[in-house]
Structure 1
Amino acid sequence: MPKSITITEATRHFSGLIDRVRFYGERVILTKGGKPVAELGPTPLSGRVRLAELPGILAELPHLDPEDAAHFADDLKAARLTLTLPTDPWALSSTQAS
């Protein structure tokens, strides 16, 4: 559960508060007049994701409905059939070399 602090306290200790969010992933509820007004916490863009957060992140991702998933699988199969791989994967084709 996130800790609650007043905005005044957050202002006085802002640098330390940001460090706690950044390095420890803590979340803090900011209050004014005893009422919560904002939450300070790590963003998905911070690059730090705790393993325990992964199921929630994956659950929020968009999902294909079964019909679209089947069409996507068919498209992948068709693309793989038309794909020609070089016999030597380290050799550049003439189009890649230029």
Structure 2
Amino acid sequence: MRIMTASDASRRFSAVLDDAEHGETIVVTRGGRRIAVISPASAANGAALTAFGRRWAGRLDDDFATDVAAARDATELDEDPWAGA
């Protein structure tokens, strides 16, 4: 695990992502406090989600699709958070 300041991580962001891609975890600090951890993403390919769906097939209630749609709608933003950035 490597520790670097937010300023350094910003300047070297592409290299930080390359390091994470190759298995390294980077702790980002600001003012001496940990503010973020950048680590390798899991190499999931959807097999676990497919297996989950098969295990639960036929056992979900009739409102499941409605619940999923409501959860998705609740997480959508009304405006672009990056607009004007």
TM-score, with length taken from structure 2: 0.48
Q: Which has the higher helix share?
A: 1
Higher CA-based Rg: 1
TM-score, with length taken from structure 1: 0.42
